[in-house]
Structure 1
Amino acid sequence: MGNIALVFAGGSGRRMNTNGRPKQFLEFRGKPIIIYTLELFDNHPKIEGIIVVCLKEWIPYLEKMLRKFEVTKVKSVVPGGTTGQDSIYVGLKAVDRYYSPDSIVLIHDGVRPLIMEQTISDNIECVREYGSCITCVPATETFIVSRNGGGLEIPSRSESFIARAPQSFILSDILSVHQKAQRENRHDFIDSCSMMNHYGYNLHTIMGPMENIKITTPTDFFIFKAMVDVHENQQIFGF
């Protein structure tokens, strides 16, 4: 049983107003966001390999960056599909070509570069014990759910969590669910945990770091830069 990271880097970055450069290729200190993310998995001792799903026209650039920053565990970079769901399915098929069905696959956004080594380890251990792992953070604000028949529901904040990433599963389980969705011509699942829940799988959660944000807006990018500075100061000054 191997532990494989499937990193999705297929977004176009329209909300970043970057004039053509996708958000995952924005640079901070000369290094693209996607490389910050990939290094987390590349440096983790329990990660065997990495598959990256990337915008087709940006694959040559990404491969150049992998060489430049010596990211060595990437087994393959594959072009994405029409939707995020389709792109993950393409990536899962690539994982299936290289690794065994009982492998643990950690599905992660290329623009979430602020997870910790411990988050990756916790995902692996959770899947080994329970068969799935959804990285979450506690809800810090009130959710309001609008019902189709009218009216509102306000879940208890203490019982509410925000799903983030990685979202991790046994390869054969998540691949079979994607294949069911393809047969049913369903292409609108927002993420892997939504799909697994729809098809009846029990999901288990861990709590990840609050800074595990998805960089989709300029404000997110500024937060990312500040957090990189904080982490570097911790290493240099020990606080």
Structure 2
Amino acid sequence: MNFQVLVDKLIDIIPGGEVGQESIYNGLLSAKKYASNEDLVVIHDGVRPMVNDKVLNNVLETAYEKGNAVTSTRVTDQIQVATTENNSKGYYKRDGLRKVTTPQAYKFKFIMEAYERALKNSNGFSSSSYANTMLLDQGETLYFAEGSDKNLKLTTVEDLDIFKSLLKTERTEWIKE
């Protein structure tokens, strides 16, 4: 299935919360007026401006089939476990790791009920929590949709330098996907 995403008018402007989770929940509360239980809700970070149609279609297709989807890419860097002495005595094997990003897509009823459970139990709303981590903490299974490493999160000066370079660069024939 190929989803064509069309945004043709602004429906609401929703105030954000103190942490990202509150902002997402505020958006879900607003969507409650328009969404049916089976509608797909897409959550995306504004600090990831390079999302493309292919990534968005991947996450929507997976969520349509499985009920939820988190955009992810393979981990290519080595991840080591840091000790309190700022050294390492262990590492994670890359073949079992995925880097999860946004967009993420969920059936409306599924994600709304998860947020309501999180609020009731007072968990999943810390500054480092997100929809996907909250769901994993609740014991849910999440499904991966293929993302892109170009979908950068712009948080550092170095990220902005890479972003500006990507905007100026065209892919050449010799680079394989």
Whether TM exceeds 0.5 here: the answer is: yes
Does structure 1 retain, via aligned residues, the 8 Å contact 2:3–2:60? no
Q: Which amino acid aligns with 1:165?
A: T
Any stretches of 5+ residues in structure 1 without a counterpart?
1-43, 50-71, 235-239
Equivalence for 1:169: 106
Distance 1:46 1:219, change over 3 A: same
Counterpart for residue 91 of structure 1: 27
Q: How many residues align?
A: 166
Q: 1:111 aligns with which of 30, 47, 57?
A: 47
In structure 2, how many angstroms separate the alpha carbons of the residues matched to 1:222 and 1:47? 29
Displacement after TM superposition at 1:138 (Å):
1.2
Corresponding residue for residue 138 of structure 2: 199
Distance in 2 (alpha carbons) for counterparts of 1:191 and 1:89:
11
Residue 144 of structure 1 is matched in structure 2 by: 80
In structure 1, what is the Cα distance between the partners aligned to 2:69 and 2:25? Answer: 18
The C-alpha deviation readout for 1:43-75, integer Å capped at 9, x for no partner, is x962355xxxxxxxxxxxxxxxxxxxxxx4432
**Displacement after TM superposition at 1:128 (Å):** 1.1
Name the structure with the higher helix share.
Answer: 1
Contact 2:3–2:57, Cα closer than 8 Å, also in 1: no
Pair 1:157-2:94 in alignment = yes
Contact 1:105 1:171 in 2 (8 A): yes
Contact 2:71 2:144 in 1 (8 A): yes
Classify the secondary structure of the residue corresponding to 2:71. Answer: strand
Aligned partners of 1:191 and 1:126: how far apart in 2?
Answer: 19
Aligned counterparts of 1:48 and 1:135: Cα–Cα separation in 2: 20
| TM-score, normalised relative to structure 1 | 0.63
Q: Deviations over 1:145-203 (max 9, x none)?
A: 469xxx96522112211111111111111111111111112221521111111112111
Greater alpha carbon shift after TM alignment, 121-130 vs 188-197: 188-197
**Corresponding residue SS for 1:137:** strand
Give TM-score, length-normalised by structure 2. 0.83
Question: Whose RCO is larger (CA < 8 A, sep 6+)?
Answer: 2
CA contact (8 A) 1:136 1:164 kept: yes
Percent of aligned pairs sharing the same letter: 27
Matched-pair contact (CA < 8 Å) for 1:127–1:169: yes
SS at match of 1:133: strand
* Superposed displacement of residue 111, structure 1: 1.3
- Does structure 2 conserve the Cα–Cα contact (< 8 Å) formed by 1:48 and 1:73? no
